[in-house]
Amino acid sequence: MTVEPSVRVEDKLFYNRYLVDVGRPHIKVRAHTKPSAQLLALLRACPARCYELNDKGQVEITVDGCIECGTCRVIGEPTGDIEWSYPRGGYGVLFKFG
């Protein structure tokens, strides 16, 4: 039996390129003092690790590395925890590098 080498998501993300739409994030986290269960789930669900806890225990997002997979949209948008849209044309992730 042949064992295939494992591939980590982080290794593949390195090949992506992003054009950041400065000042116009395409995903926004609803203002909160204590994160909901959905927001906390995003810390683990996002494959690009765009979601983090700040020093106040609130969930924040940095969209610069977003691969637009939609996982957080499924988890957080129905509950109103996030607002999700695609980046404006010409901005966002570029997959052509690998």
Chain contacts with ligand SF4 (rule: CB under 6 A):
27, 46-48, 50, 66-72
Q: From CA 40, how far away is CA 58, in angstroms rounded?
A: 9
Give the nearest distance from C-beta 57 to ligand SF4 in angstroms.
Answer: 20
What minimum distance in Å lies between the beta carbon of 3 and ligand SF4?
29
Task: For residue 65, give Cα distances in angstroms to 37, 41, 45, 55.
Answer: 23, 18, 14, 21
Q: Return the SS3 of 9.
A: helix
Instruction: Give the nearer residue to ligand SF4 in terms of CB position, either 27 or 59.
Output: 27
Cβ at position 58, least distance to ligand SF4 in Å = 16
